[in-house]
Structure 1
Amino acid sequence: MSSGVSTSTDKIIVDRSRGHRNKAVSKAVRATRERLQLSTSGNQAFDRDMLSMHVNAVLQSAAVVPLFIALITAIGMYLSPSANLVAWALLMLSLHAINLLLARRFSRKEIAATEATKWRRRLLFAQVLLGIGWAIFALQSCKSCGGDGFYFYKGAVLLFAISITAMGSFMLRQGVLIGFVPMIAALLFQAVVSRDLLDIGLTAICAIAVVFFHFIGDRLYRSNLTLMSYQSEKDDLIAELEVAKSMSDEARRRAEEANLAKSRFLASMSHELRTPLNAILGFSEVMSSEVLGPLPNPTYREYAGDIHRSGEHLLNLINEILDLSRIEAGRYDLNEETLSLLEVAEDCIGMVQLRARAKNIAIRHAFENEMPLVWADEKSIRQVILNLLSNAVKFTSQGGEISVKVGWTAGGGQYVAIKDNGPGIPEEEIPVVLSAFGQGSIAIKSAEQGTGLGLPIVQAILAKHDGQFVLRSKLREGTEVIAILPATRVMQSLPAVADAPAIEKRRRSFA
């Protein structure tokens, strides 16, 4: 038997030490956190991702640069046929090929986060090589060309080159600035040597263009970095929420299994718990009433009475626990039939009348006339009214008064309302007394303490009938409880629509 209890106990404990089932989600959370914590500044955390995006842009635009170089060479040969442009074109294509090979090698290799800085330097060096190629183009001249047409051609080509490079390499931070430093140096050298106003103007325009596109590229880089940071944080939060949700679902499932096991255990132990109590109650009653002969010592008779009263209290407690457990376990079945709410209320008043008279409590009732029958479980409804009346008698002081009303609700249902002028319940304690095993401060101080299951059972029974339970109370003014059965339980509707205002007036006067 002990082993069975141990096994059952093991099943209802949430094992927090075991690994989580969703290992992929946990791994994603750890990877994201590590990436966010690689650097104190946070910018280097996404270097690898930014480099990957730059390499993808280079590979996708692999055919753009050769076409641009071919177009430049064709226009240049048209303006001034020269072998220098052809040699420059072959050099640029070679440098572009080196850049592509480096990018392809990066894309095929699994780059670790610690290698990102090294690869960034390599890619920047490739940009410098391309910049040297544009510097060589900037040094080209055409002595046979008349006018300023060649300056216009060279300036347009360099500006296009700067803009195309800026659009394709802004993911490589400072790629435009570092890549075109050789070109600006070459133009500056040429302007200093020639002291030509056109060379000086071309140098100034290209330098401003490089600075401008560097600024634009840096802003785009920072924007993408911010977006990636937000995306990473969002993924991190989603992953953590998934982990927390999965753990919560697992804990809730185990808690529900434990609660259901407890309810089933208590519901199945009804016979085992009540059988010995019946024997105790029977034998103690025989002893206290001296059925088999007088007891030689009167103290024994008092002890037998105490045993009987304690046994009855324990039996009531067990009955309430078992009733609530059956409801929670879904094994509380209603035996529904037609009954009169007025007759049930009158019977219950008669059952508590003796206890009320012992405390000099007056029970007054106000019942509606000719109320139709309702479809409900008579035993359950009787238990509801008895629980509410017993609480009213228990907590009403000597010489108090209890009023019981049975009538119509505004929606066509029927209600039983019980109001006392006892000490009342503090407003903040009402949720406590409505919970299982909950007791207010007045009940705890009272000499007649209960189990705290009466009102939860009342709520559960009314819920099984699709009804409602209302509790209103004020400290030192009294308590009012209302058990409501819906209109669907009434065997016939309201007598007449014209009587609705009068019914509402009676209901408000009660409230």
Structure 2
Amino acid sequence: MPEQRPTSIDKNIVDRTKARRNSDVARAVRRTRDRLSEQAGTPVYDRELLKLHANAVLNTALAIPLMVLAVCIAGFAAGVGPDIVVWAFVTMTCYTGLSLVARKVVRTDMAGIETDTIKRAFLAAHAVSGLGWAYFAWLGCDECKIEQFMVLKAVVLLLVMAATAIMASALRGALVATFAAPVAVFVFLLAVSPEWEPVDAIMVGLLFVSLPFFTYVAGHLHSSTVMLLSFRAEKDMLIAELETAKSMSDEARRRAEEANLAKSRFLATMSHELRTPLNAILGFSEVMAGEVLGPLQNPTYKEYAGDIHASGRHLLHLINEILDLSRIEAGRYQLNEEPVTLEHIVEECCHLMELKARNKDIRIVQEFEPNLPRLFADERSLRQITLNLLSNAVKFAPSGSDVRVRIGWTAGGGQYVSIKDNGPGIPEEEIPVVLSAFGQGSIAIKSAEEGTGLGLPIVQGLLALHGGEFKLNSRLREGTEAIAIFPPQRVMEELPLVPQTRAPAATGGYRRSA
């Protein structure tokens, strides 16, 4: 029997069943780990260094030939003779061979580079280009008018040596392979020359010392290049991790969207299926509790019918709150906006909560600013916001205390509803909890207060639909103040009175009333 793949959701966020989606990320991570596992001196780093050296040679392919051309023109003008032209041609030919080797390396795939072979080819090309500079060191100028010709040749070689030290820093031994022969020629010419001046000896000594010095500089540049490769590998690793995190977040978002869609389908299907039997339960239990069809012989049955009716109403209220919150979160809550008076709505809600507050010996104190203009809002939403905040305040306010309800202007020109109680308060760290769906504070849990934890999230959602803001200020043993703020855009300005006019007179004109 073939093995079946489990249909349950994998523990990992990345979906292992979708290899195509995660293959690029897996390859990037694998390449980065392989690169980081290598150290300097291994084939991976050697190939990178050879690539860098080849790019440096190609990027400076015109610098040294231009210098050779400038020296050739200056020497020919000074009367060195045709030997300087021959030297320039030989040297440019040698550098052309070096450029061809570099171009071949650049065009070769990283995995196809044979490090030992390419290193030998580069060193051989550098040595050949060094023969051209050795020929330059050998050039004489018996008939030219340039004094200290030996010094000028040494200065040119020092400049080229410095440029080569920078260019060939990625390849160890390239500088020595290029300028070992020219320095040896200078030393030989000084040794066999019957007439040499102290400045010639100084320049030869300077050349002799400069070769190990520039080799030391090139070695430091080589170390910096290796460090640069390490940093680049770490950067690639970070990029790979970011790609992995992006893939994980995309997968998590896809699953969250699927879960949200499943929730919406469930609520859309079950809202009718749950409300229909609940309405029947509420109706029949009310009929039985009210003994509409006749008296119940056993009073306990009547008590049970009342409990069934109360439980059904609580369950229906819970279902309605869940559906309202789901519609708000899904953006499907429809606002029936119209001009409403905030004072009238809050006052009616206070009257509705008066009986419940009186049963707990709580007084609802109303402090309303007069002559507030109307709001352009959904009246049902404003009632729900006010009732949710009032019921919370009455629920947690101690007996004999006051619940203060205020409405008025905000500093920005909007309007607000503030409901404050003298209850136990909410710890600061628990405020995000009570503002989340089904979240309840520790005090509500300990006191076993009835509630589902959906009132404040619904208030937040309804205010957000109106472009408003909800603030919850609370301290332990000092009470809680809930403030619902409506933006200035919702406040309707008072329109000026339209001047009344009389009927047109016989002459055809109009007259305004006094």
TM-score (norm 1): 0.78
Mapping 1:259-338, distance limit 5 Å: 259-338=260-339
Mapping 1:99-138, distance limit 5 Å: 99=98, 102-112=101-111, 115-132=114-131, 134-135=133-134, 138=137
CA distance in 2, matches of 1:73, 1:180: 21
Percent identity at matched positions? 52
Q: Which amino acid aligns with 2:206?
A: I
Note if 1:38 corresponds to 2:38: yes
Question: 8 Å contact 2:151–2:203 — kept in the other structure?
Answer: no
Count of residue pairs the alignment pairs up = 485
CA distance in 2, matches of 1:121, 1:144: 41
Question: 8 Å contact 2:412–2:488 — kept in the other structure?
Answer: yes
Question: 8 Å contact 2:15–2:251 — kept in the other structure?
Answer: no
Match of residue 172 from structure 1: 171
Match of residue 420 from structure 1: 421
Q: CA deviation at 1:316?
A: 1.0
Aligned residue for 1:286, secondary structure, equals helix
Aligned residue for 1:51, secondary structure, equals helix
CA distance in 1, matches of 2:474, 2:120: 77
Aligned residue for 2:471, secondary structure, equals strand
Note if 1:485 corresponds to 2:486: yes
Give the 3 Å change call, closer, same or farther, for CA 137–464 of structure 1 in structure 2: closer
Question: 8 Å contact 2:80–2:143 — kept in the other structure?
Answer: no
Q: CA deviation at 1:322?
A: 0.8
Greater shift in the superposed pair: 225-234 or 393-402: 225-234
Give the 3 Å change call, closer, same or farther, for CA 123–68 of structure 1 in structure 2: farther
Match of residue 184 from structure 1: 183
Give the 3 Å change call, closer, same or farther, for CA 452–16 of structure 1 in structure 2: same
Q: CA deviation at 1:456?
A: 0.9
Q: CA deviation at 1:161?
A: 5.3
Q: CA deviation at 1:450?
A: 0.7
Match of residue 342 from structure 2: 341
Question: 8 Å contact 2:406–2:419 — kept in the other structure?
Answer: yes
Give the 3 Å change call, closer, same or farther, for CA 395–166 of structure 1 in structure 2: closer
Give the 3 Å change call, closer, same or farther, for CA 20–445 of structure 1 in structure 2: farther
Q: Which amino acid aligns with 2:380?
A: K
Deviations 1:144-200 (A, max 9, x none): 999986645654564465456446534433312233223434544565667975574
TM-score (norm 2): 0.78
CA distance in 2, matches of 1:365, 1:376: 22
Aligned residue for 2:114, secondary structure, equals helix
CA distance in 2, matches of 1:392, 1:363: 10
Q: Which amino acid aligns with 2:35?
A: R
CA distance in 2, matches of 1:232, 1:339: 64
Give the 3 Å change call, closer, same or farther, for CA 493–223 of structure 1 in structure 2: farther
Question: 8 Å contact 2:13–2:248 — kept in the other structure?
Answer: no
Question: 8 Å contact 1:174–1:218 — kept in the other structure?
Answer: no
Mapping 1:46-445, distance limit 5 Å: 46-57=48-59, 60=62, 67=69, 99=98, 102-112=101-111, 115-132=114-131, 134-135=133-134, 138=137, 151-152=150-151, 155=154, 158-159=157-158, 162-163=161-162, 165-166=164-165, 168-188=167-187, 198=197, 200-222=201-223, 230=231, 233-234=234-235, 236-238=237-239, 240-445=241-446
Give the 3 Å change call, closer, same or farther, for CA 462–300 of structure 1 in structure 2: same
Q: CA deviation at 1:427?
A: 1.7
Question: 8 Å contact 2:335–2:378 — kept in the other structure?
Answer: yes
Greater shift in the superposed pair: 415-424 or 200-209: 200-209
Supply the RMSD in Å over aligned alpha carbons. 4.2
Q: CA deviation at 1:350?
A: 2.3
Question: 8 Å contact 1:139–1:186 — kept in the other structure?
Answer: yes
CA distance in 1, matches of 2:276, 2:82: 117
Aligned residue for 1:422, secondary structure, equals coil
Show structure 2 runs of 5+ residues with no match: 1-5, 497-514
Give the 3 Å change call, closer, same or farther, for CA 161–454 of structure 1 in structure 2: closer
Q: Which amino acid aligns with 1:417?
A: S
Give the 3 Å change call, closer, same or farther, for CA 347–200 of structure 1 in structure 2: closer
Give the 3 Å change call, closer, same or farther, for CA 394–154 of structure 1 in structure 2: closer
CA distance in 2, matches of 1:10, 1:375: 47
Show structure 1 runs of 5+ residues with no match: 1-5, 496-511
Give the 3 Å change call, closer, same or farther, for CA 164–316 of structure 1 in structure 2: closer
Q: Which amino acid aligns with 1:330?
A: G
Q: CA deviation at 1:327?
A: 1.3
Give the 3 Å change call, closer, same or farther, for CA 123–347 of structure 1 in structure 2: same
